[in-house]
Amino acid sequence: MSKTKLIINRNGSIKIEGDFEIMDFEGKVYGLEGRTALGLCRCGLSSNKPFCDGSHRNNFEHEAEAFDLPPMKTK
């Protein structure tokens, strides 16, 4: 099985690619109809949340650049 990739798009969605399933807070699985790639909303403007419908165009700005998180704290 290949890795699932999450791509943080500039001024847009989070693209997810690979073998994945998406569940709501109760564990119910969304019917993705065989899709192996789709966009998840991160602007809050989509009328089809959690999926992106393109509503962010000209209304959402975020220059996503990768960075390293600090080490995890041990308990």
Residue type for position 22:
I
Spans of all domains in the chain: 1-56
Tens-place pLDDT, residues 10-56: 999 999 999 999 999 999 999 999 999 999 999 999 999 999 999 99
**What is the per-residue pLDDT for 70?**
95
**What is the per-residue pLDDT for 58?**
87
CA distances from 21 to 4, 56, 63 (A): 10, 24, 27
Confidence band for 75, pLDDT divided at 50, 70 and 90 = confident
First vs last Cα of the chain: how many Å apart? 33
| Distance (Å, whole) CA 74 – CA 19 | 31
Confidence band for 1, pLDDT divided at 50, 70 and 90 = low
Q: Sheet containing 14-17: give its strands across.
A: 5-8, 14-17, 37-40
Per the rule left: phi > 0, alpha: psi between -120 and 50, beta: everything else, 47 is alpha
